Structure 1
Amino acid sequence: MHEHSKIDEFFLMHIEGLVQLHKAIEAKPNDKEILAVAKENGFSDKVIASLWNVSEMDVRDVRKSHQLTPVFKMVDTCAAEFESKTPYYYSTYERENESFKTDRPSVLVLGSGPIRIGQGVEFDYATVHAVWAIQQAGYESIIINNNPETVSTDFSMSDKLYFEPLTFEEVMNVIDLEQPEGVVVQFGGQTAINLAEKLANAGVKILGTSLEAMDTAEDRDKFERALKALDVPMPPGKTATSVEEAVAAANTLGYPVLVRPSYVLGGRAMEIVEHEDELRTYMEEAVHVHSEHPVLIDRYFYGKEIEVDAISDGEHVFIPGMMEHIERAGVHSGDSIAVYPPQSLSATTKQEVIDQTVKLARGLDIVGLLNIQFVLYNDKVYVIEVNPRASRTVPFLSKMTGVPMAQIATHVILGKTLKELGYDEVYHTEPDRVAVKAPVFSFAKLRRVDIHLGPEMKSTGEVLGRDLTLEKALYKGLVASGMNIPRKGNVLFTIADKDKDEAIKLAHRFDRLGFQLLATKGTADVLQNEGISVQNVHKIGEGKQDISSIIREGGAQLVINTFTKGKQPARDGFRIRREAVEHEIICLTSMDTAFALLHVLEMMSFATEPVPKLQQATSKEEVHA
């Protein structure tokens, strides 16, 4: 093995020891000595359960019956130079325990764990503010989190910090020791929410929104029934536990459909499907469908997405703000540019969103934070989803409104009412400034990732821009996100057929600003037929000066490429997008983002067009008409 892998023999020896232990565990179910050795070597209850063909709870019961429980050691932040007193603990299967329960009542907050796409540091912001509110309320604050790169894992934040994986076993070990008044799961994203059911079944009190209410929001069938009872419209949808069920559901709903697994964060494995062949491919390759985790299939509405964060005490509802997304529904909310306050929504639409938010918060028995995503389609507001937890937009709205949302929600979770906290209004007064939340992407580092934006989240961060007008706020946000906005040069269009009508409007406006237009043949023909001056460029592989060569040689300062399905177009589109990213050229895959950038350019530039001819007037009335 050493010869083949070049892994040092020291490590191979230890790996071999773990393999032998793995076999010994499997061979001796319920053996106390083997179980003790397994725990000392880091085998989790879940892994042992799979080897013994029992449940995780069964292993936990056996372990506790033999008094096989971990102790907690204080992290030595002083390098043994003098005694460490920081309340920062980790578990180990040794003898001496260094963490002791105090006399104060405590509340345990579950963090969000490792930062990854779909679950970023925004959740840690909410965790920290929750801890502050718990301390203000007179409780001892305890955090479980295992990410050293977050503020919540700074030992000065909480009264006690347990640096532990966010699994059922590790959380229960802390609960067994600390005996908190309850556990808060709302601020740890989907990681914490996914633990709620197991914790509740083990007798742990979940503070805030109940497990039943969370399940109603997360379970498709229960959610549909609840919305029907509340008379809140949503896009028609169905669930499927097999390929044929999915095909039948899509045929009933009508294409396009949005398909996704249940219980996901970050839009993982979510896709907009236009035809039956695409749906069959998705069902067979993208997901493992079965009765416990069905696939959700929704009729896809290509409208404006609206997002709301709200706080409910079970009776009263307070909405700090609503946001509209620049990109239409179909781009994940984490990858969209969000604008607060909304700039294009009518007063009627905003009131409808407010009314539906209040109705949903009360009807679903939400206590604490909730996030709702709506779509505005044909002047009607539909609910896309309700998340009974803090969302990634909580820090953005908190900063832009001055409302400490996570702190207010925590006080509500601990028993206060919104009125007691001084929040009598339903909707917070909107400011006279415009704020923009722009996503940050790391595509240059993620070499094989397609930069095409869709329902699956791909951004790795976000920035804020704020100013008197939308265009100025957008400019600040786009520049802060790393976009080097060109003031002149060439714009390269390669557009899917479904987007060509919008591309005409876009091209006209870029032409007026003095940009030179380049396009592949299909797009160029459409633009030339509209009287727009455009240079035809070769597709990939059609000549020496093909589209990829132009990008590599700096012949385009901006690329607008919308997604075309099908093997060859999809492959060519991927290469075009990757070429642009790797040569630090702005590449936009959403027409809405392109129009937003165009607004910024028009704000920064003077149009280059001739003065119109003076019209002949035959009377004074016509001159002043």
Structure 2
Amino acid sequence: MELDDVHSILIIGPTSSDKNVDLSTALYDTVDILHQLGYKLSIIVENPTSLLSSGTFYDKTVVEKVTGDNVLKYVQKYHPDSILPTVGDRNALGIVSSLNGKIGETKILGPSFAASLATFKRELFIKKLTHANLPVIKFVSSDDEKEIYSFIRSIGFPIIARRRYSNRHSSGWTNINNLFELDNFMAMEDISDTKIEIERSIRGFSEYSFTILRDRYDNSSLVGTIEDIEPIGIHHLDSNLISPAVSLNDSKLQRLRNFSIKLARTFNIVGVCTVHFAYNHATNESYITEFIPRLSEETKFLEYATSYPVATAVAQLCLGYHLDKLQLDAGNYFNGATEPFVDHITSRFPQWSTNGQRYLGPSKTSNSSIVVNGFSLEEVLNKGALNDKLNNNFNRYNELRKLDDDELFEKIIHPTNWMLDVLSEAMRRNFEKPVLSEITGINMPYLTALQNIIDNSLIIREGEIDGSNVEHMVNMGVKGVGHSKLLLDSPDIVTKTVVKNKQAVSVANNDFINHNYFVTGGISNELQLSDRMKIIVRTPIITSKTDIMIRQFVLFQLAKSIDQNGLEPIIIGREPWNAPLSMRRKVVEIDDPHMEMKNLGLIKNDSVLNIIDLSKNLIETDDKRVFQFSAQELKNLKLTGGTSVRVMVVSDGENFLAPSVIYQAKRDGHLYEISSVNQFMTVEDRANISRLIKQELEDDSKVDIYNFELVKSNDHWLMTKKYRGMTNDIIRHELASSVHVIDTLVKLLLGNKIGDDLTLEKVFDNFDDKYLLTIDSKRYQLLDEEETKIELSKLRKNEN
């Protein structure tokens, strides 16, 4: 069944970009199942903190810039049987395309050479799809002006154009509507080794993506579909995403599904492939715009939406397993060919850091997102994009009311991130929905949902709430949203706001239970809890990409530690976090967009031992069980120096441990950091640092985590910064330290004690054998003990 000549696998890891948060979490499931199945794993990665908790599975971890040359050097030195690029980013596909014919007998698992190359070479992409009779947009790439103008005459305006440079960098797509705009674009300063790329413009078409799994025996299944509410012309990550694609009827869905499977067959993709489509509902034209033959942000979103274990399945498919005979773990089988049937809608709504309007186009402008679940479009729109608590929609409503019809129409034809609010205001003024759909490219189901929300808002504003319509409104998610704050006084609402099980995927295994729930409207609660004592972990509503990586790491460590200590972990919040597969049967996740779980009384108060709050909005409370985990700045002297240390401290209220010390030095215009250097500290440094920490903790009387920064000045340590709770250093501290701080914290919250009269060696105890060197927060190296001594010796020469 599986490839019997593959025993060792080199994984091309993600680069150190914030875009790779989703890949970092998918990486854990990938290497977990490969490790259980007995494969020998190595990884090349730029930033080892992006590995999260998966580092224990690797035989070798190579910290180098992820390039084709470095991958080739590894292959020539260690001769792995295979290379797996599916958990790398787009860069990994570029590396695969550059290795053709250079790696001997080493196999490439997953995307073929042609598939990898076609993600960069538009000409190859067009040629392969045209040969397979798949719908694709006509395209030219040339430095010949005559050829370019001749091609444009054959397809007509509008078009999109960009400059493609020899190093794969491009200028970004420009919309061109007439000859005058084309002449201006062509007259721009030219650069050598540059080609002009031209395509027919499909701006205004609807955008869909289909994710397909395929095995080497040509069996395929559709994992899920995603639809952009906004049409093509707006960046995919600035659009509101809906899964499943609700505006496709069955015949259209089957048509695009068949195209997706045919594309995967054309490129002989084994594993996963996400295919993007442009669809014109007026003419029934459809085009394949791009494909992604690897794990991506979309596959992670679908895994969250459907509960299908995508990353685990892809790893096995790449190794030759049959789609219908996959394993959740070693020996626990499931039928991966069963296509998920979702009983709810999952939506991702982009967020911007400022409240003002931003014009949307082909370039990404959003910096975070929220994910919500519901049983209707109205519910997910009310929970997400139209949630007044998150987006100040009431202020938007007041601003838009001041515009006359012409000014409002200008907002309609030039889309901004207020588009749904703009359309709502237009429909309040009786603009016709078919006209709005034609102008904006937004499909009718969403305009109808907005109309229903407007009608309900009118009922609420006029106080016409009674038993005949309150349940209908709750089912649309209107509780506590915008004007509907009036509903908060109705006792009937609380009884009709419940927790529903997110039933989504059918696998042929009765032992696979995904404890994933969301707060919605209904009449019965489906929350199932064990009789174990519980620790609740509350997460933020909105986080940036970087924050998500940190919190996903912390959530996993907390859930694992809580379970190992005999308690039931319950994660409450709206962060789009999917627990690794090994934890999904042990952790209860509840999507709670409006903080309603606190008031529903569905978790018995006397069964909750502690509440760990990761939210940044620190709330004053008299509940002694609440532990605020996010950082609070308690001290900042604004004093800098050439040498400093950052110390993580965990305290039981009487004694403390300092299991991780990060050494920082500025030398020759560069910033060096080495973690964790506990065993390289002198006795004098340990004593002085310990004394300063004791002084800062004199009034400490409860379990807590602290982060201190100390600066060395004239051979003396000075305490400059003090934080209570988790800082962004948490991953570095946790991965650098052999003493796991988060697990220690959980044990202390359960009543364990550190112990009295500890020696300095015990306070700073750490027995690591690998140390992370970071230069300018960009370059990373893993050092052994001897290499660390040498680097520290160099840095300390100028310490005074």
Task: Identify the TM-score tier after normalising by the shorter chain.
Answer: 0.5 to 0.7
Give the match for residue 458 of structure 2: 606
Structure 2: gaps spanning 5 or more residues: 1-5, 327-332, 465-800
Distance 1:428 1:246, change over 3 A: same
| C-alpha contact (below 8 Å) 2:29/2:312 kept by paired residues | yes
Query: Where does residue 322 of structure 2 map in the other structure?
Result: 417
Amino acid at match of 1:109: I
Offset from partner CA, 1:491-544 (integer Å, 9 cap, x none): 16546769559999987852775xxx9xxxxxxxxx9xx89xxxxxxxxxxxxx
Deviations 1:416-435 (A, max 9, x none): 12133277676723212110
Q: Which residue of 2 aligns with 1:363?
A: 266
- Helix, strand or coil at the partner of 1:372: strand
Structure 1 residue 485 corresponds to structure 2 residue 393? yes
Give 1:72-111 correspondences, 5 Å limit.
Answer: 105-111=7-13
1:267-323: CA deviation from partner (whole Å, max 9, x where unpaired): 9612322223333444555985747x6524234252111111111124111211011
**Which sits farther off after the overlay, 350-359 or 269-278?**
269-278
Amino acid at match of 1:202: K
Q: Contact between 1:145 and 1:163, CA under 8 Å: does it hold in 2?
A: yes
Shift of 1:457: 2.8
In structure 2, relative to structure 1, the CA distance for the partners of 1:420 and 1:282 (3 Å cut) is: farther
TM-score, with length taken from structure 2:
0.48
Distance 1:258 1:356 in 2: 24
Q: Distance in 2 between matches of 1:322 and 1:244?
A: 41
Structure 2 partner of 1:319: 222
Note if 1:429 corresponds to 2:332. Answer: no
Matches within 5 A, 1:366-515: 366-377=269-280, 378-421=283-326, 428-442=339-353, 451-478=358-385, 479=387, 482-486=390-394, 488-491=397-400, 494=407, 499=412, 509-510=424-425
Q: Which runs of 5+ in 1 are unaligned?
A: 1-103, 518-526, 532-559, 564-588, 612-625
Distance 1:208 1:330, change over 3 A: same
Amino acid at match of 1:602: I
What's the CA shift for 1:150? 2.4
Paired residue type of 1:353: L
Q: Is the 8 A contact 1:442 1:460 kept in 2?
A: yes
Instruction: Name 1:199's counterpart in structure 2.
Output: 99
Q: Secondary structure at the match of 2:56?
A: coil
Match of 1:336 in 2: 239
Could you say which structure has the higher strand fraction? 2
1:30-109 alignment, distance < 5 Å: 105-109=7-11
Residue 241 of structure 1 deviates from its aligned partner by 2.7
**RMSD after superposition:** 4.2
Distance 2:303 2:92 in 1: 22
In 2, distance between residues paired with 1:243 and 1:402?
51
TM-score, normalization: structure 1? Answer: 0.60
Q: Which residue in 1 is equivalent to 2:656? A: none
Please state whether the residue corresponding to 1:272 is helix, strand or coil.
strand
Q: 1:187 to 1:267 in 2, by over 3 A?
A: farther
- Kept in 1, the 8 Å contact 2:345–2:380? The answer is yes
Distance 1:496 1:507, change over 3 A: closer
Cα contact 2:27–2:51 (8 A) shared by 1: no
Is the CA contact (8 Å cut-off) linking 1:238 and 1:298 kept in structure 2?
A: no
Q: Which residue pairs with 2:174 in the alignment?
A: 271
| Cα distance between partner residues in 1 of 2:382 and 2:169 | 26
- Tell me by how many angstroms 1:600 deviates: 8.4
Partner of 2:24: 124
Deviation at 1:151, TM superposition (A): 3.9
Report the Cα offset of residue 113 of structure 1: 0.8
1:535-576 per-position Cα deviation (integer Å, ceiling 9, x unaligned) = xxxxxxxxxxxxxxxxxxxxxxxxx9xx9xxxxxxxxxxxxx
CA distance in 2, matches of 1:366, 1:339: 26
- C-alpha offsets along residues 452-505 of structure 1, whole Å, 9 cap, x if unaligned? 322233333433110111222233333599523227522165467695599999
TM-aligned CA distance change 1:484 to 1:201, over 3 Å: farther
- Secondary structure of the 1:457 match is coil
Q: 1:304 corresponds to which letter in structure 2?
A: S
For residues 343-395 of structure 1, the C-alpha deviation after alignment (integer angstroms, 9 at most, x for no partner) is 22111111111111111111221111111101111223321112222221111
* Aligned residue identity for 2:78: E
CA deviation after TM superposition for structure 1 residue 190, in Å: 1.1
Q: Tell me the amino acid that sits aligned with residue 257 of structure 1.
A: I
Once residues 388 and 220 of structure 2 are traced to their aligned partners in structure 1, the CA distance between those partners, rounded to angstroms, is 34
Question: 2-side partners of 1:400 and 1:194: how far apart?
Answer: 29
Instruction: Indicate the SS of the match to 1:334.
Output: helix
Alpha-carbon deviation of 1:406? 1.6
Aligned length: 432
3-state SS in 2 of match to 1:417: coil
* Helix, strand or coil at the partner of 1:486: helix
Q: Distance in 1 between matches of 2:145 and 2:53?
A: 44
Q: Percent identity?
A: 22
Q: Aligned equivalents of 1:128 and 1:261: distance in 2?
A: 38
Amino acid corresponding to residue 64 of structure 2 in structure 1: E
